[in-house]
Amino acid sequence: MSDGNVAEFSAAMRGEAALTAYLEKAAGRVGNLQKDAVMRWIGPAAFAPNTASTADQFAEFVARSFRESVSQGIGGWLDDDLALTRDWRFDLAGIERPVAIWHGRKDTLVPFSHGEWLAEHIPHARTSFHEQDDHMTLPVAMLDQIVEDLVEMAL
């Protein structure tokens, strides 16, 4: 995991007060996020001729989503992080609906081992693991296949 992700989830593990303090500091950066910063996160692999346009649109979407996510405070972000540190109160083995798990081995935001763990615990999960992708390149490089997968599962 990236240093920032480790710091964020370490704060979450210390509890709501510590996480609130961390997120309030981070919200200023998130609230001003611009497409060029997201493009740096995505990296040069996304600029291949067949993905450059998608990368640009994805970066703008991510930047706008991040800005909007904190436009009314950190409440949703706080709840989301805290939920990841607590029991979900349901058994993954009981999931009956179709589930697709797409994960890149180079992901520094969600450990690859978590994707593997989910695949082991959700019966009939459809997995698509990618050795060369991370959290940001996977949706750019594989967008068409991800959408096709989701449509097929919905039918």
Residue 144, judged by CB atoms within 10 A of its CB (0-12, 13-18, 19+), counts as: exposed
Whether 139 contacts 58, CB under 8 Å: yes
- Condensed to tens digits (0 to 9), the pLDDT of residues 66-82 reads 999 999 999 999 999 99
**What is the reported pTM?**
0.80
- Chain Cα centroid distance, residue 69: 14
* The predicted structure's pLDDT at residue 47: 65
Name the maximum alpha-carbon separation found in the chain: 46
Q: At what angle do helices 16-31 and 3-14 cross, to 10 degrees?
A: 140
* The predicted structure's pLDDT at residue 78: 98
Whether 107 contacts 135, CB under 8 Å: yes
